[in-house]
Structure 1
Amino acid sequence: MSIKITGTGSYIPNVITKNADFHQHEFYNIDGSTFPGDNESTIQKFKAITGIKERRYLDDNLNTSEMAIIAAQKAIEASGIDPETLDYIIVAHNYGDVKFNCHQSDTVPSMATRVKHHLRIKNPSCVGYDVLFGCPGWIEGLIQAQAFIRAGMAKKCLVIGAEALSRVVDKHDRDSMIFSDGAGAAVLESSEEKGGILAHESATYAYNEANYIYFGKSNNAEAPQDLRYIKMNGRKIYEFALVNVPKAMKSCLEKSGKSIKDLKKIFIHQANEKMDDAIIKRFYNLHGLDVPEYVTPMTIQELGNSSVATVPTLLDLVINGEIENQELKDGDVMIFASVGAGMNINAVVYQY
């Protein structure tokens, strides 16, 4: 028995926010002091490091769960399954539904329950729950779903990653320019065909690393001090990811029984172009090889970092031929890999 993705779907928000839209922002350091230099220089440096030139924000009238529902509907349609036959709906997110101009997160009922409700699934044996695992949440949901199927507890699972980071960013923090919104989904099923999920790797580093990404007050000392926003220690994250993600990917590939030369694609969390490129280069260096051309599709330049949504969205776009010079063929071996708040790392080797 294999465990395969039989359908994917995604939702990419309509609002395009370009780097130029940040020219009028007032940026401050974490200690409240004014960020040095003019905004044009800050934005140019940001673009050189992250690769981001624009990002997507959801419409004011939408929430995270509604993006998840749209992506889920597309994945179900692509798979051709009856939603009533789903055994699990797993939704990865980090902040729940945060309505426009509201600072309170709404997570009751769960995002998965909301998705199930809007899909109008009557079957009570279809269990819905949420995963909070930082940016690697969708991949972790994939790992959990395949475990249910291997254990005989399920045959079909819907795994969704959805996030609206634009609702939890501090506009006075330069890092706010990284974040974006979106949703991606996949239907996972048991199959008699070869391939599917071949191996996985998952880890949490929390001894020294727990607070590399956290919820903190605004960098603007005059802003309300009881409000909290997503914050990160970029340098620490970069150093951590560069060491630990390639090792996890290498270990996962070894478990799968596949060779590095079998690998056709790497779907890595779209966190930061410079960091992602460095991770992939380090991974291939561990095998004494250079990075092949077109092995790593990227969307961060146009879509930004949408946390749990980046990997499933990227996968869906490639499957549907929407990224230039990127395609998947039957039998192709790929790796899904991510790093994020926790600090959490995971990887999956998958044969298409």
Structure 2
Amino acid sequence: MRNAVITGSGHFLPENIIENDYFLNHTFFDEKGEKIQKSNQETIQKFEEITEIKSRRYAEPELQNSDMAAIAGGRALQDAGVDKETLDYVIVASNYGNISHGQGLADLMPSMSARVKNKLGIKNNACRPYDMTFGCPGFNEALILATQFIKAGLAEKILVIGSDMISRAVDPYDRTAMIFADGAGAVILENKKSDQECGVLHYLTISDNLEELDYLTNGPSLNTEYKGASKSVSMKGRKVYEYALKKVPAAMHRLIEQAGVDVKEIKKILLHQANAKMDHAMVKRFYKLNGISDAPKDIAPMTVQDFGNSSVATVPTMFDLVRKNQLGNHQFYPDDKIILASVGAGMNINALLYHFPAE
């Protein structure tokens, strides 16, 4: 049978570390467009208590999002030992494409994937560049699409990348700007024929696009006098939190139920990292849905504390770090089953069940 198996991975994190005290001199406004009166020290302290974010990475001014994506993609190719000219697709998930430093203007033409293919120097004109715009779940959705191509016999090798520079798309007067960060992660997905079913076993996607559509969107600055970008990230934090807590655990539960896999077989859950409190709550609720009162210790690795929310890059970055034993004591082992899940603008949710090949 045809299996969609990850054979290599890579990531890129900017060297520029932004600690929380970076925001001490900011001026924050509330949703009514009025200046927040409490001190920034108090605002930051409350923010850190809820999200656990202490630092995040911002790209250097000379870098573009496509640069980060190409670096992560090149590292995944090297890790897999795959000749770039044998790729059938380069699929890149991103929300804003390139955003030049200080401009705040999203640039998606030419496409991110075409730019990445160019930066990697891929000459093969049969290799198709494909962009995925799906909010924070974009990398997972790109991986789902790549899996469908491979299992349908339409591709043998695909480079899948999630890369975003959200730091250049935030409203500097909005407290939620402290959540977002920059980064890129990538994997190589290949067809591996085997009698044993492995790789991406099962997946599902949920898209609620009615009243949920404006939970996370682009909007004007909270400061009506701001002369910077006309559009920036605008998030209804409470709505997003409630939606995610209700829908993501249910989606993961349905995923393993449809796949016929017992929850005790799951060794790791890689959740999109936006808010540690939310992630802890989603994992706990997922296990409660499966009749278990407490989640197993270390089941869900966390990166948000140090890297912030790099949107489509969080899941592949975390995958690469764990795979290479670079995230604490977290490890993947042969025959492990793991879940990759994400929620974001749309509102969209997806979840994948991945089974590492047995050695």
- TM category (shorter chain) comes to over 0.9
1:208 aligns with 2:217: no
Query: What is the deviation of 1:61?
Result: 0.3
Aligned-residue Cα RMSD (Å) equals 1.0
Secondary structure in 2 matching 1:339: strand
Q: Which runs of 4+ in 1 moved over 2 A?
A: none
Contact 2:105 2:229 in 1 (8 A): no
1:336 aligns with 2:337: no
Hey, what does 1:286 align to over in structure 2? 289
- Comparing 177-186 with 119-128, greater Cα deviation is found at 119-128
- The aligned runs of 1:176-195 (5 Å cut-off) are 176-193=177-194, 194=196, 195=198
In structure 2, C-alpha distance between the alignment counterparts of 1:7 and 1:58, rounded to whole Å: 24
Secondary structure in 2 matching 1:210: helix
The code of the aligned residue for 2:159 comes to: L
Hey, what does 2:27 align to over in structure 1? 26
In structure 2, C-alpha distance between the alignment counterparts of 1:330 and 1:70, rounded to whole Å: 27
Query: What is the deviation of 1:257?
Result: 2.1
In structure 2, C-alpha distance between the alignment counterparts of 1:119 and 1:180, rounded to whole Å: 24
In structure 2, C-alpha distance between the alignment counterparts of 1:175 and 1:12, rounded to whole Å: 21
Query: What is the deviation of 1:35?
Result: 1.1
- The aligned runs of 1:1-352 (5 Å cut-off) are 1-193=2-194, 194=196, 195-224=198-227, 227-289=230-292, 290-352=294-356
Give me the identity figure in percent. 47
Query: What is the deviation of 1:94?
Result: 0.5
The code of the aligned residue for 1:184 comes to: G
The code of the aligned residue for 1:211 comes to: D
In structure 2, C-alpha distance between the alignment counterparts of 1:103 and 1:180, rounded to whole Å: 15
In structure 1, C-alpha distance between the alignment counterparts of 2:107 and 2:94, rounded to whole Å: 12
Secondary structure in 2 matching 1:158: strand
The code of the aligned residue for 1:91 comes to: V
Secondary structure in 2 matching 1:8: strand
Secondary structure in 2 matching 1:36: coil
Deviations 1:167-193 (A, max 9, x none): 011111000000000000000001124
Unaligned residue ranges in structure 1 (runs of 5+): none
**Aligned residue pair count:** 352
The code of the aligned residue for 1:275 comes to: M
Deviations 1:121-164 (A, max 9, x none): 11111100110000000000000000001111101111000000
The code of the aligned residue for 1:237 comes to: V
* 1:167–1:225 CA distance, 2 compared to 1 (3 A): closer
Secondary structure in 2 matching 1:209: helix
The code of the aligned residue for 1:167 comes to: R
TM-score, normalization by structure 2? 0.96
In structure 2, C-alpha distance between the alignment counterparts of 1:105 and 1:192, rounded to whole Å: 41
Query: What is the deviation of 1:222?
Result: 1.6
Contact 1:217 1:225 in 2 (8 A): no
Deviations 1:53-95 (A, max 9, x none): 0000001100110000000000000111111111111000010
The code of the aligned residue for 1:298 comes to: M
Query: What is the deviation of 1:103?
Result: 2.4
In structure 2, C-alpha distance between the alignment counterparts of 1:64 and 1:122, rounded to whole Å: 21
